[in-house]
Chains A and B, each alone.
Chain A
Amino acid sequence: MSDTTTAYQAPTKVGRIAEYVDQRTGLSTVTREFGRKVFPDHWSFMFGEVALYSFIILLLSGTFLTFFFNPSMAETTYDGAYIPMRGMDMSVAYQSSLHISFEVRGGLFMRQLHHWAALLFVAAMSVHMLRVFFTGAFRKPREMNWVIGGVLLIMGMAAGFTGYSLPDDLLSGNGLRIIDGVIMAIPVIGTWISMFLFGGEFPGDAIIGRLYVLHILLIPAMILGLVALHLIFVVVHKHTQYPGPGRNDRNVVGYPLGPVYAAKAGGFFFIVFGVLAAIAAAFTINPIWNYGPYDPSPVSAGTQPDWYIGWVDGALRLMPGVLGDINGYRQHFEFVLFGQTLSLNILLPALVPAGIVFTVLFIYPWVERWITKDDREHHVLDRPRNAPTRTAIGMAGFTFYCVMWAAASSDLIATHFHVSLNDVTYWLRALFFVGPIIAFVVTKRIALGLQRKDREIALHGRETGRIVRLPHGEFIEVHAPLDEYKRYRLVAFDSPGVLPAQPNGKGVVDRKERRRAKLSKWYFEDRVAPVSVAELEAAHGHGHHEAIEAAPTSAGH
């Protein structure tokens, strides 16, 4: 140590401070590693950033709110600034929410900012996951980070729901009542769980305090930890990049962290904050003073949960409880078995659709890897059209989700479009089953069509709109050839074909392998191959078009 003290003298004051810190922490290795780290740039990489930034805004605005909020369910009589409610009985939690809204300067703004940021947080995570799915960014080596992302989405929904319930207003109270009803439907332990959660019968006087602990301590801590892990993995793996000239699985092309990427990403935080602040200033969200305190008796028509819970609520609405009369006997979905009640009319819609969506989401990377037997690392993304079956599966899942989501607004759809509520429900019930299939077929056809269009453009160039009459009277449209960079974008992609069943180590094709081969066929049977050099040469070799393409009047670059 002593012999290094004279080795280096920083010339400036900042340099001396840096040297002081560096000698004690060794941070220069971090700067060396991260200072110029390359991040690819694309607008679709922004969604994850939006999610991260809205989470930071949630932490900031949420901390402010905890200083004023009182999560007690003790009964009190209101005598605050909001005149229509003076003299009303309500819980302290609701009263303190009104106090934040009406008597704390900036309190209403913080509440609205917090709520809007929560809506954006889950939305940004969802869109980010769609982007990752459709571009194949979940493939090796990022499968585990995909799962972390899925858990984060669930935690985000949990954070949202626990926070939504805290003001103890009429709307959120009915939401809790629904949760209680669903929990009670769980066989054997449902009633116990409900009693434990609510500290006795619904609504009791414990639930708000318990949700508060979950909302401000447990769930945010878990989200924070998972976000940290998620970002560490992004650094370890380095970011994926879209295909294009100069980009491949062995490099990463983009802007260095310092200064360009840091400036863009850092500036973007302020933009997200600014946009959320403008929304919070101008658009009311969750006006609890209009709903009133929670009371088990009243309910407002057209009740809606926050958007991210909608799909689960919609599934509850879609399920028929009774299937009319068959031979004078009403077909119920509630069964009594050995004296115990089993409410399938609640259990099925509450558990099965969400179970399907999250199971498929979590296992998909391994399923695709098993079918393709692709053990390579992938750092270059797929354009969605170049993976038609995966894109179609994604759209089928998305449609499945959206049908349930729409069902959560079935009453509003009926009243806004002046149609029968029953008809809306019947249609959505049908779409619940048929919608994903239609979406799958249509998406796959569109993806294949787009691939064919890409081939066409790669082979024959782009249409110029210039019609030329040839000497013998024929009219043709002039096509301008692509430059090699643009062409490379269209022709350089991975196009897996059907992989037939392979014998295992003993030389036997087992049943599992045959099943895999069948799925491989289903995945890759319909495929449009990328253009090869030979094909391009053949396309240019066939006659007179080339002369026109090369003519000086052509609109080529």
Chain B
Amino acid sequence: MGNPSDGAPQQGGTVATAGQAGGQFEDPGLPPHRPRLADTDPRAAKRAERQVTWLFIISVIGTIVFLVSYFAIDLGPTSTVDAIRTQNILLGLSTAFAMLGIGTGIVHWAKALMPDHEVSEARHELRSEKDREAAVKIVDDIIEETGIKRRPLIRNTLIGALALAPLPALAVFGDLGPNANDKLRHTMWAPNAQTGKKVRLTRDPDGTPIKAADVTIGSAYHVIPEGLNDLHEGKLNEKAKSVVLLMRLNPQDLHVSPGRENWGYNGIVAYSKICTHVGCPVALYEQQTHHLLCPCHQSTFDLTNECQVIFGPASRPLPQLPIEVDSEGYLVATSDFHEPVGPSYWEREYS
């Protein structure tokens, strides 16, 4: 009987197999071998041999083309996009021919000329019962010889020592980064602590200050704090927290909640550009609907309603940057954001 269900090396368990009441079919054994053309016709075999040879020759040509195109086209600080593209295509296609020539040649050789008789080999048990018994005996002897069962004090102190030993490995990673502190909360928008000078809103990326009079209704600016471009260290860290979108709407379109009456100027409002979901820049402004859209996960914020979430995975409105106009008519930040910008984190509420 050759049914796959009845011949496993290890029979065991209670397996419900039904439907064999009417008798199982005899395994007829491997189907008879059907000779290929190349087995019976010497001319076909010769033809296959020529094909394989040609495939290998194609590979040789591919390798030569690769070497030629590598040395014939030199790249450097002055190389043109055309030269780069040409060389890439030549190198890639010649590699493809070099590899495919060998690959298809060998496979064709194997399929057409090498013997295609399927053979059957017996499987062996993964282990024998004798081995298992011997192994168990050895392990038992080892445990007995260590005396670990008879001497619990040794065992327990060893467990204690091993449990503590990895702690230094964890500790040495302590210098990977500073602890979470109130860094996440503060941005460059806070007025200078000594002079009280308020930070001007400037254009991203060139850093020119923005006059309130230049902001027309319907326009939108990508904004960075004044002085960001002068930073030598941590420029991107500061930028990642302080980028702001500045827009001007009809003042009557804006719904302003109590306490935020002075946060805008003549319908000009500024909001953090960092999404409150997982921190992508909320870069798309729909001028007609006054919606801000994050292109990463499609969180949508309603500008007329203090950037409340109206769609998508974000949960919190974008933080608003309070702004006013200084004596020269430039927009400045009245204060820092009143809450941390960007994605939420565990300590957010009390930090």
Residues in chain A within 8 A of chain B (CB atoms): 37-38, 41, 75, 79-82, 101-106, 108-109, 112-113, 141, 174, 177-178, 180-182, 184-192, 194-204, 206, 236-238, 243, 245-256, 259-260, 263-264, 266-275, 277-278, 280-282, 294-303, 313, 316-322, 330, 332-334, 336, 339-343, 345-346, 349, 372-380, 410-411, 421-422, 425, 484-485, 487-488, 491-499, 502, 520, 524, 527, 529-530, 532-535
Q: Which B residues touch A37, using CB under 8 A?
A: 121
Is B123 a contact partner of A251 (Cβ separation < 8 A)?
Answer: yes
Interface of A is mostly: mixed
- Is B284 interfacial (CB-CB < 8 Å)? yes
Query: How far is the CB of A166 from the nearest CB of chain B, in Å?
Result: 17
Stretch at the interface among B107-115, B135-143, B194-202, B247-255: B107-115
Is A182 a contact partner of B278 (Cβ separation < 8 A)?
Answer: yes
Is A263 a contact partner of B114 (Cβ separation < 8 A)?
Answer: yes
Q: How large is the interface on B (under 10, 10 to 19, 20 to 34, 35 or more residues)?
A: 35 or more
- Is B10 interfacial (CB-CB < 8 Å)? yes
Is B30 a contact partner of A246 (Cβ separation < 8 A)?
Answer: yes
Is A254 a contact partner of B118 (Cβ separation < 8 A)?
Answer: yes
- Is B218 interfacial (CB-CB < 8 Å)? no
CB proximity to A under 8 Å, residues B84-131: 84, 87-89, 91-93, 95-107, 109-111, 114-116, 118-123, 126
Is B14 a contact partner of A317 (Cβ separation < 8 A)?
Answer: no
Cα–Cα distance between A21 and B327 once the two chains are bound (Å): 90
Residues in chain B within 8 A of chain A (CB atoms): 2-5, 7-25, 27-31, 70, 73-79, 81, 84, 87-89, 91-93, 95-107, 109-111, 114-116, 118-123, 126, 173, 176-180, 183-184, 204-205, 222, 224, 234-237, 239-241, 243, 273-274, 277-281, 283-284, 295-299, 308-316, 342-350
Is B27 a contact partner of A271 (Cβ separation < 8 A)?
Answer: no
Query: How far is the CB of B146 from the nearest CB of chain A, in Å?
Result: 28
Is A411 a contact partner of B295 (Cβ separation < 8 A)?
Answer: yes
Q: Which A residues touch B5, using CB under 8 A?
A: 493-494
Cα–Cα distance between A236 and B126 once the two chains are bound (Å): 7
Cα–Cα distance between A295 and B243 once the two chains are bound (Å): 10
Is A297 a contact partner of B273 (Cβ separation < 8 A)?
Answer: yes
7 smallest beta-carbon distances between A and B, as pairs? A281-B92, A181-B278, A532-B22, A529-B19, A270-B103, A267-B106, A534-B22
Is B29 a contact partner of A245 (Cβ separation < 8 A)?
Answer: yes
Of all chain B residues, the one with the shortest Cβ separation from A80 is B77
Is A253 a contact partner of B25 (Cβ separation < 8 A)?
Answer: no
Is A534 a contact partner of B17 (Cβ separation < 8 A)?
Answer: no
Cα–Cα distance between A206 and B178 once the two chains are bound (Å): 12
Query: How far is the CB of B26 from the nearest CB of chain A, in Å?
Result: 8
Interface of B is mostly: loop
Q: Which A residues touch B297, using CB under 8 A?
A: 313, 316-317
Contacts A178-B280, A345-B315, A502-B14 given; does A251 touch B120 at CB 8 Å: yes
Contacts A316-B278, A497-B19 given; does A301 touch B295 at CB 8 Å: yes
Q: Which B residues touch A336, using CB under 8 A?
A: 349
Cα–Cα distance between A188 and B346 once the two chains are bound (Å): 6
Q: Which B residues touch A345, using CB under 8 A?
A: 277, 313-315
Q: What are 22 A-B residue pairs whose CB atoms fall within 8 Å in the complex?
A: A105-B73, A105-B74, A105-B91, A112-B92, A177-B279, A181-B278, A181-B342, A189-B346, A245-B28, A250-B123, A251-B122, A263-B109, A264-B110, A267-B106, A274-B101, A275-B96, A277-B95, A281-B95, A321-B309, A321-B316, A532-B22, A534-B23
Is B313 a contact partner of A317 (Cβ separation < 8 A)?
Answer: yes
Is A296 a contact partner of B4 (Cβ separation < 8 A)?
Answer: no
Q: Which of B4, B12, B179, B278 is close to A493, meaning CB atoms less than 8 Å apart?
A: B4
Query: How far is the CB of A134 from the nearest CB of chain B, in Å?
Result: 17
Q: Which B residues touch A41, using CB under 8 A?
A: 118
Contacts A108-B88, A191-B180, A245-B30 given; does A321 touch B315 at CB 8 Å: yes
Q: Which B residues touch A495, using CB under 8 A?
A: 17-19
Is B312 a contact partner of A249 (Cβ separation < 8 A)?
Answer: no
Is A202 a contact partner of B344 (Cβ separation < 8 A)?
Answer: no
Q: Which of A246, A269, A341, A527 is close to B103, meaning CB atoms less than 8 Å apart?
A: A269
Is A274 a contact partner of B98 (Cβ separation < 8 A)?
Answer: yes
Of all chain B residues, the one with the shortest Cβ separation from A251 is B120
Is B16 a contact partner of A498 (Cβ separation < 8 A)?
Answer: yes
For the A-B complex with A177-B279, A297-B224, A534-B22 known, give 20 more contacts whose Cβ atoms are closer than 8 Å. Answer: A180-B343, A181-B279, A181-B342, A191-B180, A192-B180, A195-B179, A254-B118, A267-B102, A269-B103, A270-B106, A271-B100, A274-B99, A281-B92, A281-B95, A299-B296, A346-B343, A374-B15, A422-B311, A488-B27, A529-B18
Q: Which of A190, A202, A266, A275 is close to B100, meaning CB atoms less than 8 Å apart?
A: A275
Cα–Cα distance between A3 and B27 once the two chains are bound (Å): 52
Of all chain A residues, the one with the shortest Cβ separation from B310 is A322
Cα–Cα distance between A299 and B295 once the two chains are bound (Å): 8
Contacts A192-B179, A202-B237, A255-B118 given; does A300 touch B14 at CB 8 Å: no
Cα–Cα distance between A321 and B313 once the two chains are bound (Å): 4
Is A252 a contact partner of B23 (Cβ separation < 8 A)?
Answer: no
Contacts A38-B120, A278-B96, A300-B295 given; does A488 touch B25 at CB 8 Å: yes
